[in-house]
Amino acid sequence: MEGSKVSKNSYVRIGIRPTIDGRKNGVRESLEEQTMNMAKSVAKFLSDSITYSDGKPVECIVTDSCIGGVKEASEAAEKFKLNNVGLSITVTPCWCYGSETMDMDSRIPQAVWGFNGTERPGAVYLAAVLAAYAQKGIPAFGIYGQHVQDSSDTTIPQDVKDKLLQFTKAGLAVASIKGKSYLSMGSVSMGIAGSIVDAAFFQDYLGMRNEYIDMSEFIRRIDKEIYDKDEYRRALSWVKENCQEGPDNNPKDVQLTREQKDKDWETIVKMTLIGRDLMVGNQKLHALGFGEEALGHNAILSGFQGQRQWTDHFPNGDFMETILNSSFDWNGKRAPYLIATENDSLNGVSMLLGNLLTNTAQIFSDVRTYWSPESVKRVTGYDLEGYGKKGIIHLINSGSAALDGTGREMRENKPVIKPYWEITDDEVSACLKATRFRTANLGYFRGGGFSTQFLTRGGMPLTMIRLNIVKGVGPVLQLAEGHSVELPKEVHDKIDDRTDPTWPTTWFAPIITGKGAFKDVYSVMNNWGANHGAISYGHIGAELITLASMLRIPVNMHNVSEERIFRPKVWNSFGTENLEQADYAACRTFGALYS
């Protein structure tokens, strides 16, 4: 069944507010048409440029009239409330009364576009209203075109378009997270700090609630057959037809029998159905007499502990995590169900941010090993070249590396990761054919199961993301833009065999700036804040920085050029020279968005 998890009634809408000089008897009347058309052009541009996670164009709500004073501002706020508006963009070509016309909702992202024209002082209003926002403690983004336009010009300049898109994508992500759940399936895995789920962080910074189940719930649902049995049979048939096993690397004397492996396949397919149902529910469970289970946990994100309490006795969660994080399964192409390996909730949030900005599947990975050019040369005799010539980072983990990460989806003859609605049937087949499901390493996973093995194609622009929590500071975000690297097969094999060749590998080369944490590839690895990273397609560092500022999460490490950075205007009041420290100070001053 093709489709997504988005219902029509849950769409977050963009509120467009045309503000105007309220003086009638000549002034306001002369501006009504230009101002309203400015709002409508922004609404059309955004609907033509941005989609929801199901591929449908975003919806914009334009106020019923231009806003010249507090009465119309109040009416606009009421309309936005009734229409599930999650972010607000005010537009104007002229002077308006700042604090009387501004949007006072401090819990949603706010932006103002002041038209750069000489006939009317739109820039003066922009400066005045942003000062009001700053004084009232509502961080707002200011948008001002670089070049003067004529009053009759109805186009949106490219630099304004770029900022509108950057703000809107990030604002939609903020609004889409609010009110959803993180479902913790199990508890802390092997002492990993990210799987110590911090409920205060989710509540205060993301507006999310936390839901918890014990992993024994999987056993109960398997034993009592609390899943769609028709779908299970269809899924198992699809798996047998499309999921190829690879060689078993375990010593001969401990290898599982064919019968045991077949039984593991049955169990992990059931686990996949159950994991999804736990997240989002399944109405078909009603007919089986399980009305409570049919509801799910309203989870936009989940994590599965697995190791070791589950995996010492039961098949591991690798297949479940891989398939749920992918853009397709036995039901066809669909939006990913995000699930974090080892219940690393912070890497899960990193995946969520990347997914909401791109509508694409995410790769969950260990940030495993830095390979210098000298080390590669010593071990393989090969001189690194291309994107990887200054060194590479080995991203490898047994779990939730989505099959999209193979790089078998194509655009203009280049490997990409696409939103699910753009993926072709041939690309689904190519991703599956490029993957082997290897019998789990029984030293790590005593209960058996299957791990995902593939090699990511080189040449893809990628962004590696990680959210960390630091005592006394709170959450901090780090990111590194770079590219996937393709090594000659014999070189890859020789290096990969030194770790666990039954797991998926992405060779990643961050873009080096020559300073700070990006002085060289070693410094990137050395400054990374945790053992995991989330890998998103595209260079989305600028959008992540904008999103982080909306959530009041400072960014402590990035390689995004200064001209691409777009934060609320009031951030400048905390310093214009050292932007990193200004970011920390602003986030500390304004505090968590929902606290």
CB 126 within 8 A of CB 155: no
User: Would the CA dihedral through 123, 125, 131, 136 be positive or negative?
Assistant: negative
DSSP secondary structure code for residue 455 in this structure: B
Residues 6+ apart with CB under 8 A from 275: 185, 218, 302, 304, 317, 320, 324, 337, 339
Rg (CA), the chain: 25
Q: For residue 551, which phi and psi values (nearest 5 degrees)?
A: -90, -5
Count of alpha carbons within 13 angstroms of residue 34, beta-carbon side: 20
Give, for 60, the enclosing helix (H) or strand (E).
Answer: strand 60-62
Residues 6+ apart with CB under 8 A from 189: 195, 305, 306, 307, 308, 342, 343, 344
Catalytic residue (one of 231, 318, 342, 486): 342
Catalytic residue (one of 366, 481, 486, 500): 366
Question: What's the first-to-final CA gap in the chain, in angstroms?
Answer: 40
Rounded CA separation 384/377 (Å):
8
Catalytic, 231? Answer no
Catalytic, 563? Answer no
At residue 401, the 3 state secondary structure works out as: strand
Q: Which amino acid is at 323?
A: I
Rounded CA separation 100/136 (Å):
13
Q: For residue 398, which phi and psi values (nearest 5 degrees)?
A: -70, -20
Rounded CA separation 461/242 (Å):
28
Rounded CA separation 10/118 (Å):
41
Residues 6+ apart with CB under 8 A from 458: 386, 387, 407, 415, 483, 484, 485, 486, 487, 507
Rounded CA separation 93/109 (Å):
21
DSSP secondary structure code for residue 563 in this structure: G
Tell me how far the alpha carbon of residue 141 is from its chain's centroid. Answer: 21
Q: Which amino acid is at 384?
A: L
Q: Which residues are catalytic?
A: 342, 366
